[in-house]
């Protein structure tokens, strides 16, 4: 299927052709027609499948078909609102709207924490489309910066992560000021029971779209599980990256302190590495991402929250220093590579402390992830590592019970 059968405006098709986009991804092929027809949409798709274009292209098409709405004072009123969980994802979505909507006259603005409010206010007052994180959006609403009287389209991008990050109350406050007539689109990497409950009163007879089995890893991602002692993980990572000559490697750490410590260790080993987490200012985060994308930094060590929404072109390698506490986060982590059908490699360093987490991941993926040993870093089988509380058998059973309960309800 080619893009020209999706009934997008010729101007958009010309832009896609210039960008070298020939065929829509599965999520785009199903979502674009549904959005153009005016349906609410509930879409589940893996990270890196083209979700942003799946909603931005049809919304740009629809916005192009009508004139901007302005007040008597010449201020534009927002016609489309996109809610996202993180600053990085806000920038990614904003850049996509700007790229696809060039020469259309549409104006886009961002609203997220850690940036100058005055600059955001100025941009919002002339914007047709606003991409925002829930907390900062509420700040602007309370200060009467935003007026949703002309709002026609509402998008939730990575809705599962917004709920995971505790934005439910903020989202509820925002929804109180949204007109009921809005066409609403909800995109999520996973369609959990929480997402279905969230969407129930939000979407009107939605078109449900799922382009892959829920909670599956992209087919082209090679998943390796290396058994290794906890105290050997840092040295093994350094050896693996140097011996394989890997560049642009994204490493996940469960904690900010762990990210900082590993980055320090790797820099001492001669591997240009930067930590990436929520304690860094927005300016520093942007600088680190720029250095990483341009190759000045070889390795990025990130926490789950900070890495959500990262869209790094040609990222071939992801390493898990340990498995995440929440099994679904494993899918999100390794989905940073193997994007848009490309090949990718995901390495997990597995120690005894991760045993129950691995069981949860395998249950979620419905597949066995075979463990292997890396020469020179074989685990000491005489060692015993005490599981953490979050990885205790009782905690694992509670998480498994919640997943099972969610499946029964659906």
Query: How many other CB atoms are there within 10 angstroms of residue 375's CB atom?
Result: 6
Q: With a cut of 60, say whether residue 393 has pLDDT above it.
A: no
**Strand duo 249-252 + 129-132: pairing:** unpaired
Instruction: Give 238-251 pLDDT, tens digit per residue.
Output: 999 999 999 989 99
The separation between CA 24 and the C-alpha centre of its own chain, rounded to angstroms, equals: 20
- Supply the mean pLDDT for the chain: 86
Would you state the pLDDT for residue 407? 44
Would you state the pLDDT for residue 267? 97
**Coil/strand/helix, residue 284:** helix
Would you state the pLDDT for residue 183? 96
Would you state the pLDDT for residue 100? 96
- Output phi, psi for 278, to 5 deg: -70, -15
The ranges assigned to domains in the chain are: 3-210, 221-401
Q: pTM of this prediction?
A: 0.69
Query: pLDDT confidence of 206, banded at 50, 70, 90?
Result: very high
**Whole-number Å distance between alpha carbons of 404 and 356:** 16
Instruction: Give 16-65 pLDDT, tens digit per residue.
Output: 999 989 899 999 999 999 999 999 999 987 667 789 999 999 999 999 98
Which of 292, 290, 258, 293 has the alpha carbon at shortest distance from 277? 258
Mean per-residue pLDDT, 106-112: 95
Would you state the pLDDT for residue 386? 56
Which of 303, 367, 316, 161 has the alpha carbon at shortest distance from 358? 367
Would you state the pLDDT for residue 117? 87
Given strand 299-302, what is the order of strands in its sheet? Answer: 273-276, 299-302, 249-252, 317-320, 344-350, 221-227, 371-372
pLDDT top residue among 382 and 318: 318
Helices (H), 255-365: 256-268, 282-293, 304-307, 327-334, 355-365
Task: Please state which CATH number belongs to domain 221-401.
Answer: 3.40.50.300
Instruction: Give 186-199 pLDDT, tens digit per residue.
Output: 998 778 788 898 89
Would you state the pLDDT for residue 50? 85
Q: With a cut of 70, say whether residue 392 has pLDDT above it.
A: no
Would you state the pLDDT for residue 395? 53
Would you state the pLDDT for residue 338? 66
Q: 158 in the Ramachandran plot: left (φ > 0), alpha (ψ -120 to 50) or beta?
A: left
Query: Hey, do 3-210 and 221-401 end up sharing a CATH topology, with the first three levels equal?
Result: yes
Q: With a cut of 80, say whether residue 294 has pLDDT above it.
A: yes
Would you state the pLDDT for residue 404? 46
Could you say which architecture CATH assigns to the domain 3-210?
3-Layer(aba) Sandwich (3.40)
Instruction: Give 211-234 pLDDT, tens digit per residue.
Output: 765 555 555 789 999 999 999 999
Q: With a cut of 80, say whether residue 1 has pLDDT above it.
A: no
For residue 183, list its beta bridge partners: 153
Would you state the pLDDT for residue 406? 45
């Amino acid at each position: 299927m080619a893009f020209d059968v999706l009934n997008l405006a010729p101007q958009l098709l010309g832009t896609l052709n210039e960008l070298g986009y020939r065929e829509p991804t599965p999520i785009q092929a199903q979502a674009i027609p549904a959005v153009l027809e005016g349906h609410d949409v509930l879409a589940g798709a893996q990270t890196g499948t083209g979700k942003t274009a799946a909603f931005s292209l049809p919304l740009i098409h629809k916005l192009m078909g009508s004139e901007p709405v302005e007040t008597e004072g010449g201020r534009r009123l927002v016609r489309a609102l996109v809610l996202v969980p993180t600053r990085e994802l806000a920038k990614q979505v904003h850049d996509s709207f700007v790229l696809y909507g060039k020469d259309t006259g549409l104006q886009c603005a961002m609203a997220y924490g850690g940036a100058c409010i005055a600059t955001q206010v100025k941009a919002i007052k002339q914007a047709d489309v606003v991409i925002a994180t829930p907390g900062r959006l509420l700040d602007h609403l309370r200060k009467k910066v935003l007026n949703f009287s002309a709002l026609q389209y509402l998008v939730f991008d990575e809705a599962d992560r917004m709920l995971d990050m505790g934005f439910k109350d903020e989202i509820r406050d925002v929804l109180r000021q949204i007109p009921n007539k809005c066409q609403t689109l909800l995109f999520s990497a996973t369609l959990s029971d929480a997402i279905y409950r969230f969407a129930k009163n939000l979407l009107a007879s939605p078109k449900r779209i799922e382009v892959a089995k829920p909670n599956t890893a992209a087919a082209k991602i090679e998943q390796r599980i290396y058994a290794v002692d906890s105290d050997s993980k840092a040295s093994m990572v350094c050896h693996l990256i140097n011996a394989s000559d890997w560049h642009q490697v994204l490493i996940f750490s469960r904690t900010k302190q762990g990210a900082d410590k590993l980055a320090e260790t790797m820099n001492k080993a001669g591997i240009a590495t930067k930590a990436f987490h929520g304690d860094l200012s927005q300016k520093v985060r942007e600088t680190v991402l720029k250095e990483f994308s341009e190759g000045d930094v070889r390795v990025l060590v990130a926490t789950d929250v900070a890495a959500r929404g990262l869209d790094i072109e040609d990222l071939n390698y992801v390493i898990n220093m340990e498995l995440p506490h929440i099994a679904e986060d494993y899918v999100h982590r390794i989905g940073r590579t193997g994007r848009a059908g490309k090949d990718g490699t995901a390495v997990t360093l597995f120690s005894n402390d991760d045993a129950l987490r691995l069981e949860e991941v395998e249950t979620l993926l419905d597949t066995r992830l075979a463990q292997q040993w890396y020469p020179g870093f074989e685990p000491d089988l005489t060692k015993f590592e005490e599981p953490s509380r979050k990885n205790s058998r009782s905690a694992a059973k509670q998480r498994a019970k919640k997943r099972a309960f969610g499946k029964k309800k659906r």
